[in-house]
Amino acid sequence: MSETTAAGWGEGLGAAWAALRCPVCHGVMRAAGPADGSGDEAQGLLCGVGHRFDRARQGYVTLRSGHKNSQNADTAPMVMARERLLAGGWYEPIATALAQAVKAHARPEGVLVDLAGGTGYYGAAVLDALPGWEGICLDISTPALKRAARAHGRLVAVGGDALGRLPLGDGTADAVVSVFGPRVPEEIARVLAPGGVLAVVTPMPGHLAEVQQAVDGVAIHPGKPERLAQQFASLTRVASEEVVKGVTFSAQAARDVVLMGPTGHHHAEADIDAATLPTATTIAVRIDVWKA
């Protein structure tokens, strides 16, 4: 990824920041200086009513009103495994296809939301393909947000619940990408701007099948194309493609792909080390694209 500084703070709020809303009252947010009134560098976000959300030292801001749905947040070992696997380039074909799919339908400028974006890997790849855009990586996992805050110079990291009301204004997102993460279709439709693009990446049957079979048969549940089509019936589907590729993982990558997935929530790292993992497997995902 080409740009690696933490985005936005200190330079005033750009288009991505302007899309954010207060998670308590849904009001517009503005940059807030230090709580003690010293200096004017943005230290957080403040809504009109006075709800204040401070920026974490690592650069992300958490916009949540409660503590719901955190049980599925990726843990630090899962995030480290995901970061290593993605840095190894094993999923680059998915990132490249996703970036091109969004670019094909996107305006010259806009705001991208990487929903349940984890470390911001896919958000950064899409922003690389869209030079006039800014992005928001929304996730509920603190270790993931720390990385997302550094993923791309135009990507801001926001702690938030993808299964609740999104901390985003109506029609503020010109593109939403949802890669292997939780989502609420009605909320995506609400935040998408007219003409905005939605790209959803889901695993197909057979995705990493050999590796998954070796770990207690814990399967990645494939996305159901009919179900997706139903969920986004208010949008117009403009493209659908499959990325299918045989890969031979390194031993480390085979372990990481298990650790970073659903299995990572249920198994200790040591259990996964002990398993004999096959390295030859298949990446098989679908990318569906809709327009609002």
Ligand X SMILES: C[S@@+](CC[C@H](N)C(=O)[O-])C[C@H]1O[C@@H](n2cnc3c(N)ncnc32)[C@H](O)[C@@H]1O
Site of interaction with ligand X (CB under 6 A): 69, 72-74, 82, 116-118, 121-122, 139-141, 144, 161-163, 179-182
CA torsion sign for 110, 115, 118, 122 is negative
* Strands annotated E in the chain: 29-32, 44-47, 52-54, 61-62, 110-115, 133-139, 155-159, 173-179, 192-203, 236-248, 280-291
Find the part of the chain contacting Zn ion (CB under 5 A) among 3-11, 18-26, 184-192, 207-215: 18-26
**Separation between Cα atoms, residue 62 and residue 131, nearest integer Å:** 26
Encoding tokens for residue 44? 């957080």
Residue among 213, 229, 202, 182 nearest 283 (CA): 202
Q: Residue 25's binding partner, choosing from ligand X, Zn ion, none, with beta-carbon cut-off 5 to 8 A by kind? A: Zn ion
- Write out the binding residues for Zn ion, residues 44-103 only, by CB under 5 A: 47, 49, 51
DSSP codes of every residue in 152-190: -TTEEEEE--TTS--SB-TT-EEEEEEESS---HHHHHH
Least Å distance, CB 65 to Zn ion, is 9
Least Å distance, CB 51 to Zn ion, is 3
Check if the beta carbon of residue 181 is closer than 8 Å to that of residue 116.
Answer: yes
Q: Residue 282's binding partner, choosing from Zn ion, ligand X, none, with beta-carbon cut-off 5 to 8 A by kind? A: none
Find the part of the chain contacting Zn ion (CB under 5 A) among 24-32, 101-109, 146-154, 263-271: 24-32
Beta strands at 61-62 and 155-159: parallel, antiparallel or unpaired: parallel
Q: Does 259 bind Zn ion (CB under 5 A)?
A: no
Q: Does 30 bind Zn ion (CB under 5 A)?
A: no
Find the part of the chain contacting Zn ion (CB under 5 A) among 10-18, 43-51, 68-76, 115-123: 43-51
Check if the beta carbon of residue 80 is closer than 8 Å to that of residue 118.
Answer: no
Least Å distance, CB 289 to ligand X, is 16
Q: Residue 139's binding partner, choosing from ligand X, Zn ion, none, with beta-carbon cut-off 5 to 8 A by kind? A: ligand X
Q: Does 22 bind Zn ion (CB under 5 A)?
A: yes
**Which residues form the interface with Zn ion (CB under 5 A)?**
22, 24-25, 27, 47, 49, 51
